[in-house]
Amino acid sequence: MPPPLPLLLLTVLVVAAARPGCEFERNPAGECHRPPAADSATCVDLQLRTCSDAAYNHTTFPNLLQHRSWEVVEASSEYILLSVLHQLLEGQCNPDLRLLGCAVLAPRCEGGWVRRPCRHICEGLREVCQPAFDAIDMAWPYFLDCHRYFTREDEGCYDPLEKLRVEPEVKLIGNIHGNEVAGREMLIYLAQYLCSEYLLGNPRIQRLLNTTRIHLLPSMNPDGYEVAAAEVAPETKAIMKWMQTIPFVLSASLHGGDLVVSYPFDFSKHPQEEKMFSPTPDEKMFKLLSRAYADVHPMMMDRSENRCGGNFLKRGSIINGADWYSFTGGMSDFNYLHTNCFEITVELGCVKFPPEEALYILWQHNKESLLNFVETVHRGIKGVVTDKFGKPVKNARISVKGIRHDITTAPDGDYWRLLPPGIHIVIAQAPGYAKVIKKVIIPARMKRAGRVDFILQPLGMGPKNFIHGLRRTGPHDPLGGASSLGEATEPDPLRARRQPSADGSKPWWWSYFTSLSTHRPRWLLKY
């Protein structure tokens, strides 16, 4: 959900839109300026099913591979690869790679000019997705050559993934208690580090900030006092309103007094028990989130039991909150029960008010943990829920079979659902619509949330027929086939990991491609 446009920028856009006859930017003299990355062409409607969710509606022939008709494109090995990438890579890098390929097979055409996609988008995606190709012994597709078919920003390129720019919201909160100040200092250090490293061109930080909205609240309790139990403090009301206004996905509250990461529930499922293991339905995910912080923290991984937090060493320096000590009214429990957000609690050390000279060392201990934790917001799935007309469905419920905890979509229909690796059955439903069910596979090595969109049909309008054989997944079904209740599902030929041929000369997927086309895609072979 993009932030509102500044008034000045909005005015410029309105004025520009009122001036007819220019599909591109105007030069300082007001004349229409065609970017170097645009070539003259005859635009036609985009009709490729695999590319139907691209950010544009017109393309041209011949395309960048010199295919001269729809029939030639659809029969090509390149197009077949795009249609099954989600299965080959088990959901990784999709639909990003598919849309990147569509920018080559069905190039963007506007006002009689062809626009080329941006090179830096291709290079960034290759950096992330190359390991997925290596894992199945497949070469990087030649038509995704970032230098041959893509161009620079200063040449007027466009972003083929612009429709996917849905960024998850993360919040980090410090100084919850007035005498626990280390968290405030850590977040100030973090803000300085993120800004300086972004400007210096640090690829990791630029990628993180370009794909994530990070909210830092260094001091939640600046006055350092607590109000009587019968009264809700003003800062508490403000935080509750904040959490219910912004669709946060992930959060951490930073405390002091020990060295451990705890996760909900904090309140025992039996109120009379002061210490009792009380897991949420998302126990596996919360443990992954907690370990993302603790496992890269040098002091939390110190094997000495005599150190601060040493009594948690056998637990890996993480613990269920209620199993440590039970208390009611905690922020982690509130986040989980009343919002879509998953929050952990980080105890930064046994000294609640460390001296100034200790702060930088404390920052060094927590820097990688904070970055690693924020990056975990991209675990699981994301997507948009719309009706059959493409209108976003607000407050649609996203359920996962076996996990009794639903999340809801934001006003723009978008959602993020943190999930551990494995096979999940995901259901989207809303009042007045038939529910849609999808099977999702999340590999252990997956570092980017897989996109799973849902199109809800009015009750009584769901699909009735099932096409047997290989399912070529549509643009809104990147991670697995969708099925309504009662529908059967056929095993997909690409789901099973086939063994190489007897002489070991070809990978397991080779026979699939050679059976569908007379053109043998030897460019997919690494050797």
Query: What positions carry a catalytic annotation?
Result: 347
Give residue 201's identity as a one-letter amino acid code.
G
Helix axes 359-375, 182-200, angle to 10 degrees: 70
Q: Which of 236, 220, 215 is nearest to 377 (CA)?
A: 215
Q: Give the residues across from 450 on adjacent strands.
A: 381
Q: Which two tokens stand for residue 19?
A: 């001036």
Q: Give the residues across from 215 on adjacent strands.
A: 171
Chain position carrying tokens 């000590």? 325
Q: How far apart are CA 484 and CA 95, in angstroms?
A: 22
Q: Which of 234, 312, 323 is nearest to 275 (CA)?
A: 323
Q: How far apart are CA 455 and CA 442, in angstroms?
A: 21
- Opening angle at CA 344, ends 343 and 347, nearest 5: 145
With beta carbons less than 8 A apart as the criterion, state whether 80 and 516 touch.
Answer: yes
Q: How far apart are CA 236 and CA 70, in angstroms?
A: 59
Q: Which of 375, 372, 96, 341 is nearest to 208 (CA)?
A: 375
Write out the DSSP string of 219-257. -S-TT-----TTS--HHHHHHHHHHHHS-EEEEEEEE-S
With beta carbons less than 8 A apart as the criterion, state whether 430 and 415 touch.
Answer: no
With beta carbons less than 8 A apart as the criterion, state whether 309 and 258 touch.
Answer: yes
Write out the DSSP string of 299-350. TTT---TTSTTGGGGGGTSEEEHHHH---SS-HHHHHHHHSS-EEEEEEEES
Q: Which of 129, 115, 120, 113 is nearest to 147 (CA)?
A: 120
With beta carbons less than 8 A apart as the criterion, state whether 223 and 178 touch.
Answer: yes
Q: How far apart are CA 224 and CA 240, in angstroms?
A: 19
Q: How far apart are CA 293 and CA 319, in angstroms?
A: 12
With beta carbons less than 8 A apart as the criterion, state whether 380 and 342 touch.
Answer: no
With beta carbons less than 8 A apart as the criterion, state whether 48 and 102 touch.
Answer: yes
